[in-house]
Amino acid sequence: MAKQGLIRRMRKWLRVPANCPPRAVTPCWLHAGRLAFGLDVVGYLRSEIGLGEAARLIVRAVDAAGLPTSPIDIWLPGRDADRSLDARLGQPARHAATLTVSGVLSLPDMAARLCRGAVNIHYTSWELPRAPEHLRPVFDRFDACWAPSAFVHDLLVASQKRPVHLVPQPVALPDEPPAPPDFRGPLRILTFFDYESAMARKNPLAAIEAFRLAFPAGREEARLLVKARGMSGPQARADLARLAAQDPRITVVDRTIPREEMAALMQACDVFLSLHRAEGFGLGGAEALARGKAVVATDFGGTRDFITPETGYPVEYRIVPVPPGAYPGADGNHWAEPSVAHAAQMLRDIHGDPAAAARRALAGYRLLRRNHSFAAVGARIAELMEPLR
C-alpha cells in the first residue's frame, strides 16, 4: 500500500501540464532551453466572448511580426461559436515562450497549465483598479505580465511583483480610413453587453436612460439598438425589457449571433455608446472607432487609451464603491458612475454637429493605426521577445 501511494504521488508530481509539448515522456520543465524560439498563444480561441476575440487578435499580431507561434485553445463549454482558427489548432509545435490570455479571476486555472520549459507570460484583463488580494501569489507562477491598456498596466504594477509591460490590445483595422457616417435619417445608436461580463459593470440601463434624456419621447430622429447575449437571471432581462418597452425607438436583440452579423450591426450604426462602470480595455468601443463611428464612453478604465476629446466623446463620472455582490472579486474596490446627463449632452452634440463627430472618428482611426494595429502591436511583441533569441 505504501509503495502504491508513493507511485501515485510520483505520477502526480510528474504529470504533464496542458501547455507542454505533446507526447513528452518527461515533465516539460526538464526540457528547459530545448524549445524553439517563438511565442505560443493560449486562450479561449474558439469562444465568441471578448477574451476569445482578444486572444485571436493577439495571434494575428504575432503573425504580423513574423514570429513562430502556435495557437492553443482552451475550451469554454457552451461558448465556442468562433471557428476561424480551427485549421491551426490541434497538435501544434511548442515554442520557448507562452502567452496566456485571460482575466485575473482565471489566474489559478491558467497557472495550473503552465509549462516550466517555457517562459510563461500572462496577458491580463481586469476591469477594477486593484486585483483581488488572494490572487497576488498566483502572479508569481508567471515570469512576466503584459497589459492591454495603461489602466491594466498600472493596476498590475500596484498589485504584484512580476515585470509588467504595456502591449496594447490589437484591433482589426481597414487598410484605408473608413468613410465618415452620413448621418442621414435617424441617428442610429448601438450599445451591447454580455450578461457573463456582469450587467452592473456594462451598465446598459444607463445607456437607455441617456438615450431617452437626449431625445425625449415623440422626437423620432434617433434609434437605439441594445445588443445582449449570454446567460443571466430572469430579473436582469426583465429590467432591460421593461425599460426598452417604454420607447418604441428602442430595439433589444438578446441572443448570440455570428461575428459577421455583429460586424454588420456595428457597420449600420452611427454611434457606439458605452456607459460602462469599468473596462480593462473596451474592445467594442475600439472596434467601433476602427469603423469610423462616433464613440461615447465613460472616461474611466482602458477606453481612456483611445477615447479622448480629440477622438471621441468621453463621459464624466464619479468614483463609487462597487456594491456587494455586483461583480466577482470586487471586495473593497471601486468603479465609475457615469453621468447620464453628460452622456445625453454628448449624443445631442453628435446629432447637432455630425461633421465634428466625423472628424473625431477619423482622428481615432489614426490613433488606433499608430498604437493598436497588428503591425504596431506585433513590433512591440517582437521587441519584448528579442532577448529570448
CATH 3.40.50.2000 domain position(s) in the chain:
187-370
Here the cell at position 87 is 485549421
The answer to whether the CB of 107 falls within 8 A of the CB of 138 is: yes
Helices 340-352 and 354-371 meet at what angle, rounded to 10? 110
Contact (CB, 8 A) for 337 and 317: yes
DSSP 43-109: E-TT--SHHHHHHHHHHHHHHHTT----EEE---TT-----TTGGG-SS---EEEEEEEEEGGGHHH
Residue 144, judged by CB atoms within 10 A of its CB (0-12, 13-18, 19+), counts as: middle
Report residue 370 as a C-alpha cell: 499608430
Cα(326)–Cα(345) distance, integer angstroms: 28
Lowest mean pLDDT among 116-130, 166-180, 217-231, 274-288: 217-231
For residue range 103-158, list pLDDT tens digits in order: 999 999 999 988 777 899 999 999 999 999 999 999 999 999 999 999 999 999 99
pLDDT of residue 33: 55
Task: Enumerate the CATH 3.40.50.11930 domain ranges in the chain, comma separated.
Answer: 25-170+373-388
Is residue 265 classed as helix, strand or coil in its secondary structure?
A: helix
Q: What is the pLDDT of residue 91?
A: 64
As beta bridge partners, residue 84 has none
Residue 7's pLDDT is 33
Q: Which residue type, as a one-letter code, is found at position 351?
A: H
- The CATH architecture one would assign to domain 187-370 is 3-Layer(aba) Sandwich (3.40)
C-alpha–C-alpha distance, residues 283 and 166, integer Å: 16
* 3-class DSSP state of 308: coil
> CA–CA separation, 289 vs 314, rounded Å?
13
Query: Sheet holding 71-73: strands in order across?
Result: 71-73, 36-43, 95-103, 119-125, 144-147, 164-166
Per-residue confidence at 180, pLDDT binned at 50, 70, 90?
A: confident
Q: How far is CA 332 from CA 100, 129, 321, 324, in A?
A: 27, 10, 7, 9
- Residue 273 forms beta bridges with which residues? 296
- Give the containing element (helix H, strand E) for 199: helix 199-202
**Those residues with Cβ within 8 angstroms of residue 309's Cβ, 6 or more apart along the chain or in another chain:** none
pLDDT tier at 176, thresholds 50, 70, 90: very high
- In a 13 Å sphere around the CA of 55, the CA atoms on its Cβ side amount to 31
C-alpha distances (whole Å) from 295 to each of 32, 206, 214, 346 are 47, 15, 15, 10
Q: What confidence score (pLDDT) does residue 83 get?
A: 86
The topology under which CATH files domain 25-170+373-388 is Rossmann fold (3.40.50)
Q: What is the per-residue DSSP string for 311-373? A: TSEEEPEEEEEPPTTSSTT-TT-EEEEE-HHHHHHHHHHHHH-HHHHHHHHHHHHHHHHHHTS
pLDDT digits (tens, 9 = 90+) for 59-106: 999 999 999 999 999 988 877 888 888 889 876 678 999 999 999 999
Other Cβ atoms closer than 10 A to 151: 24
Encode pLDDT of 10-28 as tens digits.
Answer: 333 333 345 554 443 334 4
Which residue's entry shows cell 524560439? Answer: 37
Model confidence pLDDT, tens digit, residues 294-307: 999 999 999 999 99
Task: Select from 310, 319, 324 the least CA-distant residue to 338.
Answer: 319
Strand 119-125 versus strand 187-194 pairing type? unpaired
Instruction: Round to whole Å and give the CA distance between 344 and 216.
Output: 10
As a whole number of angstroms, the distance between CA 70 and CA 89 comes to 8
Tell me the average pLDDT of the chain.
Answer: 88
Highest mean pLDDT among 110-114, 232-236, 381-385: 381-385
